[in-house]
């Protein structure tokens, strides 16, 4: 198992390198002189020229990329053009907020999405089923920022129950988490439902019923674990995406997370921050994938056998 994890982590390296290369090159092609951005419009051409020399900006892009990678290995991802602070510490400062937000959304998706999906499948074509499918459809068709604004209007301004912006207490995370998780929740309901429906049709469910197992236990003990694989995938992917992808929502609710940092950096052409944020998201997704695959082996004994067998061979 450890060996498997090691292998997977090794495979991650070239992927991250590839992504960083592509992002580096694309950003290099966009107009704008970093030295000018750092020094501002009022600086003289001479001082800009000196700074360019200092930063090695006159070198070929490939050379600069390799320099970037070399520094990155030692933990130096460059400095923000705007604040002058190291990218890593900027990202680190934003991580807890993004993490709390993504966790909040995830919890909501899991505790609402999975049970609703299960009930929907167990009572297929019933009123409850129709109701949950309709809500899922509504959730997907609502634009995120609009939902965020509506929630803010209603719960903060009208009812004055929850704070609208900022990241000071856990209450501050409720509305943004709901907004961020809305789409994932809809996916989760539909995925759980279809996965459960698929499993319920299987022969071994009929076997369970033929043993005299009650319907509740048929669903919870016999069907759910088998339906879990696609559900775990959704949870993992959503979590990784939400960690870095809450750009619009973080901005709407004025949450200082990775997403709002990235948006701001893109607007101000703060290239090191943009690359740093994208690498962070890429790592988050890769690690999440790995975690999901490891959880798989606990859920499905067949996969565990495959992974352990693989290790014996190698």
Partner 1 sequence: MAERLLEIKDLNVVYETDESVVHAVNNLNLVINKGETLGLVGETGAGKTTAALSIMKLLPDKTGIIKRGEIGLENINITIATKYDKRLLRGNVISMIFQDPMTSLNPTLTVEYQIAEVLALHKKDMKKAELSKRVDEILEMVGLPPSRKHEYPHQFSGGMKQRVVIAIALACEPKLLLADEPTTALDVTIQAQILKLMKELKEKLDTAMLLITHDLGVVAEICDKVAIMYAGQIIEQGMIEDIFESKYHHPYTEGLFDAIPDLSKKTKRLNPVEGLMPDPTDLPTGCFFHVRCRKCMDICKTKEPEIKWTNADKTHLIKCHLFNDNK
Q: Which residues of the shown chain bind partner 1 in the complex (CB under 8 A)?
A: 202-204, 206-214, 221-222, 225-226, 299-302, 305
| Residue 15: CB atoms within 10 Å | 13
Choice between 114 and 282, CB closer to partner 1: 114
Choice between 30 and 308, CB closer to partner 1: 308
In whole angstroms, how close is the CB of 309 to partner 1 at the nearest point? 11
In whole angstroms, how close is the CB of 162 to partner 1 at the nearest point? 40
Nearest Cα residue to 271 out of 97, 68, 94, 89: 68
Kindly state the tokens that stand for 251.
Answer: 């901005």
Choice between 92 and 221, CB closer to partner 1: 221
Choice between 84 and 212, CB closer to partner 1: 212
In whole angstroms, how close is the CB of 305 to partner 1 at the nearest point? 7
In whole angstroms, how close is the CB of 236 to partner 1 at the nearest point? 19
In whole angstroms, how close is the CB of 208 to partner 1 at the nearest point? 7
Kindly state the tokens that stand for 97.
Answer: 């907020």
Dihedral over Cα of 228, 285, 186, 253: its sign: positive
Choice between 37 and 299, CB closer to partner 1: 299
Distance between CA 303 and CA 101 in Å, rounded? 32
Close Cβ partners of 157 (under 8 Å, ≥ 6 residues apart): 164
In whole angstroms, how close is the CB of 285 to partner 1 at the nearest point? 27
Nearest Cα residue to 253 out of 111, 155, 108: 155
Choice between 101 and 122, CB closer to partner 1: 122
Choice between 213 and 294, CB closer to partner 1: 213
In whole angstroms, how close is the CB of 131 to partner 1 at the nearest point? 19
Taken as a whole, the chain contains a residue count of: 314
Choice between 89 and 305, CB closer to partner 1: 305
Kindly state the tokens that stand for 188.
Answer: 């989760």
In whole angstroms, how close is the CB of 233 to partner 1 at the nearest point? 16
Distance between CA 185 and CA 135 in Å, rounded? 10
In whole angstroms, how close is the CB of 307 to partner 1 at the nearest point? 13
Choice between 125 and 168, CB closer to partner 1: 125
């Amino acid at each position: 198992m450890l060996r498997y994890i090691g292998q997977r982590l090794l495979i991650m390296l070239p992927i991250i390198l590839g992504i960083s290369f592509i992002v580096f090159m694309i950003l290099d092609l966009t107009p704008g002189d970093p030295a000018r951005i750092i020094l501002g419009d009022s600086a003289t051409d001479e001082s800009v020229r000196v700074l360019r020399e200092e930063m090695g900006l006159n070198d070929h892009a490939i050379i600069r990329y390799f320099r970037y990678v070399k520094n990155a290995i030692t933990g130096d991802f460059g400095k923000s053009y705007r604040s002058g602070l190291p990218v890593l510490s900027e990202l680190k400062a934003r991580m807890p907020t993004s993490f709390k937000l993504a966790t909040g959304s995830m919890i909501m998706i899991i505790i609402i999405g999975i049970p609703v999906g299960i009930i929907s499948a167990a009572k297929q074509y019933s009123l409850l089923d129709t109701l949950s499918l309709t809500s899922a459809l509504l959730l997907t068709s609502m634009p995120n920022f609009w939902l965020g604004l509506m929630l803010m209007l209603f719960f903060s301004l009208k009812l004055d129950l929850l704070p609208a912006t900022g990241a000071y207490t856990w209450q501050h995370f409720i509305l943004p988490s709901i907004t961020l998780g809305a789409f994932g929740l809809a996916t989760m309901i539909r995925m759980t439902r279809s996965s459960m429906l698929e499993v319920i049709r299987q022969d071994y469910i009929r076997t369970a019923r033929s043993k005299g197992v009650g319907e509740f236990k048929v669903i919870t003990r016999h069907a759910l674990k088998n339906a879990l694989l696609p559900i775990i995938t959704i949870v993992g992917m959503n979590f990784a995406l939400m960690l870095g992808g809450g750009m619009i929502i973080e901005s709407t609710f004025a949450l200082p997370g990775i997403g709002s940092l990235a948006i701001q950096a893109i607007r101000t052409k703060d290239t090191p921050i943009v690359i740093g944020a994208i690498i962070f998201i890429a790592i988050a997704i890769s690690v999440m994938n790995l975690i999901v695959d490891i959880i798989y082996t606990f859920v499905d004994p067949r996969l565990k056998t495959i992974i352990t067998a693989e290790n014996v061979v190698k």
